[in-house]
Amino acid sequence: MSYSVGRILLVDDSPRDVELVLDALDQSSLANEVAVARDGVEALDYLFRRGAFADREPGNPVVVLLDLKMPRVDGLTVLKTIREDPKLRYIPVVVMTSSREEQDLVRSYELGTNAYVVKPVDFSGFIDAVKHLGIFWAVVNEPLEGKG
């Protein structure tokens, strides 16, 4: 069975983690377009349709999978910017990070993340986590579209 709905925005500076997430989404039969941003600057450019993403199709992603620890602009700043913008604030954001620091967890929820997932260190655990996240947020969850 193949599922297809809106775009997913994956924001992660680790090429290995990006590859693993893309493989896991593919294994879960998600036919969604997945846009990849390698840091917070690219993520914000994608969301606001500027820079290299100025010509992308209109519309928000159905979910943002967001790493916290990135160069240039970190994930917490991206999350804060999303929640402060009326056109973006309803996009589900799932923080996917290797950080187990309580301050990152607390701050993520204070800023409005929908979920906080610590990346499993083993390959199969990581694949399973991404499959479940992808199916839930991209297929099962009912997005609040056109609000703001």
Enumerate residues 6+ apart whose C-beta is below 8 A from 134: 8, 24, 25, 28, 30, 32
Quick count: other Cβ atoms within 10 Å of Cβ 140? 8
Contact at 8 Å (CB) between 69 and 99? yes
Which domains occur in the chain, in start order?
Answer: 8-140 (3.40.50.2300)
Question: What does pTM read for this prediction?
Answer: 0.83
Q: Name 106's Cβ contacts closer than 8 Å, sequence gap at least 6.
A: none
Task: Give the residue carrying structure tokens 């970190």.
Answer: 74
pLDDT at 25: 75
**Predicted local confidence at residue 3, as pLDDT:** 41
Residue 21 confidence (pLDDT) above 60: yes
Residue 20, pLDDT > 90, answer: no
- What is the identity of the amino acid at 139? V
The pLDDT tens digits of the residues spanning 43-89 come to 999 999 999 999 999 999 988 999 999 999 999 999 999 999 999 99
pLDDT at position 42: 98
Which DSSP state fits 112? T
| Confidence (pLDDT) at 147 | 42
Q: One-letter amino acid identity for 4? A: S
Token output for 64: 């943002």
Look at residue 69 in the predicted model and tell me its pLDDT. 93
33 residue type, one letter: E
Strands 93-97 and 115-118: parallel
79-124 confidence digits (pLDDT tens): 999 999 999 999 999 998 888 899 999 999 999 999 898 876 666 6
87 Cβ neighbours under 8 A, 6+ residues apart:
60, 148
